[in-house]
Structure 1
Amino acid sequence: MEQYALITGASKGIGKSMAIELARSGYQLLLIARSETELRMLSKLLKEQFQVKVSYLATDLSLTDSTQLVAAWCAQQTDRLSILINNAGFGLWGDFGNLELHEQMAMLKLNIDAVISLTYHLLPVLKQQQQSYILNISSTAAYQAVPTLALYAASKSFVLSYSRALRYELKKTTVSVSCLCPGPTDTGFANRAGLDVLADLAEKFNMQPAVVAKAGLKGMFNKKAEIIPGFLNKLSAYGAQYLPKALIERITAGLYKR
Structure 2
Amino acid sequence: MPQLTAIVTGASEGLGKAFAIELAKRNINLVLAALPGPGLDNLAKYLVKNFEIRADVLETDLTNTDSCHQIFTYLTEHRITAHMLINNAGIGNWDWFTDKGTAFYKKQIDLNITAPVLLTRLFLDQVDVTITSYILNVGSMGGKFIVPRKQVYGASKAFISYFTKCMQLELAGTNVKMSLLSPGGINTKPELLVLNQQLKGIAKATIFEAEDIARIAIDGLFKGKQEIVPGAANKFLVALNSLLPQFIKNAIIKRKLKGHG
Same fold at TM > 0.5:
yes
Residue 53 (structure 2) aligns with: 52
Residue 185 (structure 1) aligns with: 186
Matched ranges for 1:137-176 at <5 A: 137-176=138-177
Question: Partners in 1 of 2:250 and 2:196 — Cα distance?
Answer: 17
Residue 66 (structure 1) aligns with: 67
Matched ranges for 1:204-215 at <5 A: 204-205=204-205, 206-215=207-216
Tell whether 2:83 aligns with 1:82: yes
Question: Partners in 1 of 2:208 and 2:31 — Cα distance?
Answer: 26
Residue 36 (structure 2) aligns with: 35
Residue 232 (structure 2) aligns with: 231
Deviation at 1:204, TM superposition (A): 4.5
Query: Is residue 147–residue 249 contact of structure 1 (8 Å, CA) maintained in 2?
Result: no
Q: Which one-letter code corresponds to 2:73 in the other structure?
A: A
Gaps of 5+ in 1: none
Gaps of 5+ in 2: none
Question: Partners in 2 of 1:68 and 1:172 — Cα distance?
Answer: 27
User: What's the CA shift string for 1:177-228, capped at 9, x where partnerless?
Assistant: 100000000113976xxx9976733994531001000110011001111000
Query: Is residue 160–residue 179 contact of structure 1 (8 Å, CA) maintained in 2?
Result: yes
Deviation at 1:2, TM superposition (A): 2.2
Deviation at 1:127, TM superposition (A): 5.2
Report 1 or 2 for greater relative contact order, CA contacts < 8 Å, sequence distance ≥ 6.
Answer: 1
Q: Secondary structure at the match of 1:55?
A: strand
Q: Secondary structure at the match of 2:211?
A: helix
Residue 198 (structure 2) aligns with: 200
Q: When the two structures are aligned, how many residues end up with a matched partner?
A: 255
Residue 105 (structure 2) aligns with: 104
Higher mean alpha-carbon deviation, 61-70 vs 44-53, is at: 61-70
Q: Secondary structure at the match of 2:73?
A: helix
Q: Secondary structure at the match of 2:172?
A: coil
Query: Is residue 80–residue 129 contact of structure 1 (8 Å, CA) maintained in 2?
Result: no
Q: Which one-letter code corresponds to 1:201 in the other structure?
A: L
Residue 119 (structure 1) aligns with: 120
Percent sequence identity over matched residues? 32
